[in-house]
């Protein structure tokens, strides 16, 4: 009887979980306020509209039904509900305010707008959709902590959340689902989610701001909401639906190409030389790298090269005192003498930090906008400023440069605040920038062309929602090696910011110094990041033993399939204050290979943790329903643990990290009693695999080049071959289930190599 009751309870739990997972989102009007439900359960309640006018007055009231229908738009088939605001008291000249909510059938995502007709709204939080969250358990948000950057915040009471967040993920006290809420932008307005103190009490709200005191919007995109059991699918579903439904100019990361230049290991002048950069210093660094046989793929000349006066750009060419031969001479030497494939330069979004100097060479003949304090920037209105970038980029291309890093993008508000809607200013500036860059910095040889451009100081909606072709973006505050705590803060920010930013561009985890005491910690993080990797040592300080582990001999980076993401067990937890390691996972698939690298970092004190297959996204480990065995290789002690992919198997691998510790765990499926790890002398070992084929009792691994090869074998190999040549047993080792073929057993020849493994019978 007990067994039957237990089975019944398990069945009911499974049915409840299934019902909650498959539940639809609905909007219900209840006594003049709205409720957002998932199936029968409440998610958001007491939803109401408040409008703040430019004169300081506020208008709110009950909502009433104003129609319901269905339709189709660029995001697909939807069901639509409309709710009209009935102001309490004086409407203050507001003729109409109608909340429109659509639920899209394909994704289940809910998208909301406000249609408005009335006087100018307050420049900050002119539109507020106030709400309460039901049965809230725990959440994570990406919070703007500067005007440029976001960082994760964690909370068990949503009322403690701050106001300026650009994504919010949470779970309720019951049910397996995750809930995602993201603010939208358009119609001159840009949104945020969070809590503000209104009339002495905290209120959760979605707010939209124009940053322009005389602006009255017409149609304001407010938010997108998605829910489901897989947290990694929710941002993609929400942003794909919302971008299509609201007609955003920008595109999402997977809809754009990745630039060829950033598939190679690079060097940047910033931390090495700062504002004191010169042509001679750059050439000395490149010469040193060539002598150390560091496979250099690109050089980025950062801040300090430009002709400026009082923090304003005066000319497009370099400061002649630092670059006496001009930028063309530098690029020519880098390419011809040192065979550097790609060369780029840094500049700010507005020309320089305070814009463009009036009546200067850089200003002449171009449409410029006079902003706050008389500061000039390329005019973001109706394409008038495009010629500024086009003139500059045409010169750079002619001098031999093929990419740019564009900094200070979040500074647009410092130039246009109160003069035009911020989302329009940012959007117009990005149209100018990208249109010019497309003409000169597009690597059209790729099937999906990428744009040679890094966005920086840019983690705000007026920027990220307007990246139509640019597809690389800095994802944290600056690398600051002089600060002891910076490695942990840096990795912590980048890891969690990727849950948000990687929807719009490949995250750039910033440069690092290979002679930094924490260099290996930084290098391991960059290896799994899924974005560009570049370092910034002075001449002679480079450490090739670290840098060569990031790339192949020709400079090509070893990269994962997708940007790294925080593991599922930590998405809503804060490892900077909890005694557990931060873990991120990065999938690597090749023909015949399913692998994943889990990078673990101590961002707290001495910590201990564990890893399992279920911590990471669904990478097909189950093999269509059958339980898979996954071999996990620990880089530091070279041991292997077998893990089961079945949720009931409970196999996990414990490990500890010291105060500045990191660990790389390479997970690969066991097929034919073999799990291929790849080149163990690389941080991202499986990325060096070209293909794996099995048949005739053998496993054949094609490698991008020779190296320290490793694989897990269920039993000692009968024969191991390299490029068709059988190795003696002294040319490889088999210890603890790990086959290791050292680099010297491959010989000196470069190019692709082949390892063939034959196992004896069971």
Q: Which of 76-80, 294-298, 306-310, 578-582 shows the lowest mean pLDDT across its residues? A: 578-582
What pLDDT does residue 18 have? 39
pLDDT at residue 572 above 50?
yes
- 563 falls within a domain: no
pLDDT at residue 14 above 60?
no
- 653 falls within a domain: no
CATH of residue 236's domain is: 2.70.98.10
pLDDT at residue 10 above 70?
no
Q: Which domain holds residue 719?
A: 676-762
- The pLDDT-based confidence of 608 (bands split at 50, 70, 90) is confident
Are 96 and 192 found together in one domain? yes
- The pLDDT-based confidence of 619 (bands split at 50, 70, 90) is low
Question: Residues 436-456: pLDDT tens digits?
Answer: 999 999 998 778 899 999 999
Mean pLDDT calculated for residue range 280-299? 98
Q: Supply the pTM of this predicted model.
A: 0.94
Residue 69 pairs with which residues in a beta bridge? 80
- 580 falls within a domain: no
**CB neighbour burial string for 672-709, b if at least 16 within 10 angstroms, e if fewer:** eebbbbbbbbbbbbbbbbbebeeeeebbbbbbbbbbbb
- 608 falls within a domain: no
Are 136 and 227 found together in one domain? yes
What is the residue-averaged pLDDT of the chain?
93
655: its two tokens: 């490990």
- 67 falls within a domain: yes
What pLDDT does residue 627 have? 66
- The pLDDT-based confidence of 109 (bands split at 50, 70, 90) is very high
Closest among 407, 653, 504, 546 to 166, alpha carbons compared = 504
What pLDDT does residue 546 have? 98
Strands 178-183 and 219-228: antiparallel
What pLDDT does residue 2 have? 36
Distance from C-alpha of 672 to C-alpha of 601, rounded to nearest angstrom? 33
- The pLDDT-based confidence of 670 (bands split at 50, 70, 90) is very high
- The pLDDT-based confidence of 625 (bands split at 50, 70, 90) is low
Mark whether 478 is an active-site residue: yes
**Of residues 407, 424, 510, 615, which has the active-site annotation?**
407
Closest among 449, 399, 405 to 266, alpha carbons compared = 405
Are 401 and 538 found together in one domain? yes
H or E element at residue 398: helix 386-399
Count CB-CB contacts under 10 A for residue 742.
16
Closest among 315, 286, 138, 263 to 558, alpha carbons compared = 263
Residue 183 pairs with which residues in a beta bridge? 223
Are 271 and 184 found together in one domain? no
Strands 342-348 and 368-370: unpaired
pLDDT at residue 649 above 60?
no
- Give helix then strand counts, H and E, for the chain: 12, 47
Total count of domains within the chain: 3
Mean pLDDT calculated for residue range 555-566? 98
Mean pLDDT calculated for residue range 670-690? 97
What pLDDT does residue 621 have? 60
Mean pLDDT calculated for residue range 501-527? 98
- 692 falls within a domain: yes
Are 288 and 243 found together in one domain? no
| Residues ≥6 apart with Cβ < 8 Å to 717 | 734, 739, 757, 758, 759, 760
- The pLDDT-based confidence of 761 (bands split at 50, 70, 90) is confident
| Residues ≥6 apart with Cβ < 8 Å to 253 | 471, 502, 503, 504, 505, 506, 563
Are 233 and 265 found together in one domain? no
pLDDT at residue 656 above 50?
yes
- 605 falls within a domain: no
Which of residues 190, 217, 248 is at a domain's end?
248
Are 261 and 389 found together in one domain? yes
Are 304 and 381 found together in one domain? yes
Mark whether 407 is an active-site residue: yes
pLDDT at residue 5 above 50?
no
Are 316 and 219 found together in one domain? no
Which of residues 213, 231, 248 is at a domain's end?
248
CATH of residue 751's domain is: 2.60.40
DSSP-derived letter for residue 10 is H
Are 220 and 335 found together in one domain? no
Question: Residues 214-260: pLDDT tens digits?
Answer: 999 999 999 999 999 999 999 999 999 999 999 999 999 999 999 99
- Are the C-beta atoms of 397 and 292 separated by less than 8 Å? no
What pLDDT does residue 659 have? 76
Q: Three-state SS for 466? A: coil
pLDDT at residue 636 above 90?
no
Question: Residues 469-501: pLDDT tens digits?
Answer: 999 999 999 999 999 899 999 999 999 999 999
- The pLDDT-based confidence of 611 (bands split at 50, 70, 90) is confident
What pLDDT does residue 445 have? 73
pLDDT at residue 618 above 70?
no
CATH of residue 269's domain is: 3.20.20.70
- Percentage of residues in the chain with pLDDT exceeding 70? 95
- The pLDDT-based confidence of 613 (bands split at 50, 70, 90) is confident
**Of residues 115, 478, 561, 673, which has the active-site annotation?**
478
Residue 168 pairs with which residues in a beta bridge? 141, 181
Question: Residues 32-45: pLDDT tens digits?
Answer: 999 999 999 999 99
Question: Residues 722-741: pLDDT tens digits?
Answer: 999 999 999 999 999 999 99
582: its two tokens: 């931060």
- 440 falls within a domain: yes
Are 274 and 337 found together in one domain? yes
Are 284 and 185 found together in one domain? no
Question: Residues 159-181: pLDDT tens digits?
Answer: 999 999 999 999 999 999 999 99
Distance from C-alpha of 345 to C-alpha of 354, rounded to nearest angstrom? 18
Mean pLDDT calculated for residue range 259-276? 98
Which of residues 218, 248, 278 is at a domain's end?
248
């Amino acid at each position: 009887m007990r067994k039957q009751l237990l089975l019944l309870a398990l069945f009911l739990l499974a049915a409840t979980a299934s019902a909650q997972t498959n539940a639809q989102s609905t909007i219900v009007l209840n006594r003049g306020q709205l409720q957002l439900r998932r199936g029968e359960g409440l998610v958001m309640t007491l939803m109401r509209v408040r409008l703040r006018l430019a004169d300081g007055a506020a208008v709110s009231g009950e909502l009433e039904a104003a129609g319901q229908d269905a339709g189709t738009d660029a995001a697909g088939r939807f069901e639509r509900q409309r709710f009209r605001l009935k102001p309490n008291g004086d409407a203050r000249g507001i003729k109409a305010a109608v909340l429109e909510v659509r639920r899209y059938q394909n994704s289940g995502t809910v998208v909301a707008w406000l249609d408005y007709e009335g006087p100018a709204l307050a420049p900050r939080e002119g539109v507020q959709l106030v709400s309460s969250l039901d049965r809230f358990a725990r959440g994570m948000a990406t919070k703007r902590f500067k005007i440029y950057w976001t960082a994760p915040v964690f909370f068990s009471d949503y009322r403690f959340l701050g106001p300026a967040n650009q994504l919010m993920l949470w779970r309720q006290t019951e049910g397996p689902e995750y809930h995602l809420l993201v603010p939208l932008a358009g119609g001159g307005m840009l949104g945020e989610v969070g809590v503000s103190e209104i009339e002495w009490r905290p209120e959760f709200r979605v707010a939209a701001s124009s940053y322009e005191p005389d602006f009255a919007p017409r149609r304001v995109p407010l938010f997108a909401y998605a829910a489901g059991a897989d947290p990694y699918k929710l941002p993609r579903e929400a942003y794909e639906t919302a971008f299509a439904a609201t007609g955003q100019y920008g595109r999402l990361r997977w809809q754009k190409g990745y630039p060829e230049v950033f598939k190679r290991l690079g060097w940047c002048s910033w931390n090495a030389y700062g504002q004191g950069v010169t042509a001679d210093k750059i050439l000395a660094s490149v010469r040193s790298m060539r002598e150390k046989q560091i496979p250099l793929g690109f050089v980025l000349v950062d801040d300090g090269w430009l002709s400026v006066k009082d923090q304003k750009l005066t000319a497009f060419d370099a400061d002649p005192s630092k670059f006496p031969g001009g930028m063309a001479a530098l690029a020519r030497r880098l390419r011809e003498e040192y065979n550097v494939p790609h060369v780029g330069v840094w500049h700010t979004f507005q020309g320089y930090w305070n814009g463009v100097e009036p009546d200067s060479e850089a200003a002449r003949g171009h449409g410029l906008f006079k902003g706050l304090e008389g500061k000039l920037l390329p005019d973001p209105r109706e394409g008038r400023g495009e010629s500024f970038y086009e003139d500059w980029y045409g010169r750079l291309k002619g001098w031999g440069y093929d990419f740019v890093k564009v900094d200070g993008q979040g500074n647009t508000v410092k130039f246009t605040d109160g003069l035009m809607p911020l989302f329009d200013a940012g959007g117009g500036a990005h149209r100018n920038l990208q249109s010019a860059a497309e003409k000169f910095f597009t690597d059209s040889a790729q099937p999906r062309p990428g744009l040679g451009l890094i966005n920086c100081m840019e983690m705000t909606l007026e920027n990220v929602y307007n990246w139509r072709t640019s597809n690389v973006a800095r994802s944290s505050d600056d690398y600051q090696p002089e600060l002891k705590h910076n490695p942990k803060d840096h990795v912590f920010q980048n890891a969690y910011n990727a849950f948000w930013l990687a929807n719009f561009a490949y995250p750039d985890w910033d440069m690092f110094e290979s002679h930094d005491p924490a260099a290996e910690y930084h290098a391991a993080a960059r290896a799994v990041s899924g974005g560009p990797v570049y370092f910034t040592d002075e001449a002679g300080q480079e450490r090739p033993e670290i840098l060569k582990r990031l790339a192949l001999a020709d400079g090509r980076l070893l990269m994962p399939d997708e940007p790294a993401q925080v593991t599922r067990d930590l998405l809503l937890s804060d490892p900077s204050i909890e005694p557990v390691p931060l873990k991120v996972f990065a999938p690597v698939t090749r023909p015949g290979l399913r692998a994943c690298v889990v990078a673990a970092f101590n961002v707290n004190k001495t910590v201990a943790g564990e890893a399992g297959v279920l911590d990471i996204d669904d990478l097909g480990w189950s093999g269509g329903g059958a339980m898979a065995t996954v071999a996990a290789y620990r880089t530091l002690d070279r041991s292997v643990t077998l893990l089961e992919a079945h949720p009931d198997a409970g196999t996990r691998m414990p490990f500890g990290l010291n105060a500045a510790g990191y660990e790389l765990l390479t997970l690969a499926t066991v097929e034919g009693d073999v799990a291929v790890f790849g080149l163990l002398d690389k941080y991202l070992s499986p990325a060096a695999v070209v293909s794996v084929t099995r048949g005739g009792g053998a496993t054949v691994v094609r490698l991008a080049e020779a190296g320290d090869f490793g694989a897990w074998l269920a039993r000692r190999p009968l024969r191991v071959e390299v490029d068709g040549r059988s190795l003696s047993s002294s040319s490889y080792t088999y210890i603890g289930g790990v086959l290791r073929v050292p680099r010297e057993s491959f010989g000196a020849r470069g190019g692709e190599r082949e390892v063939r493994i034959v196992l004896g019978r069971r």
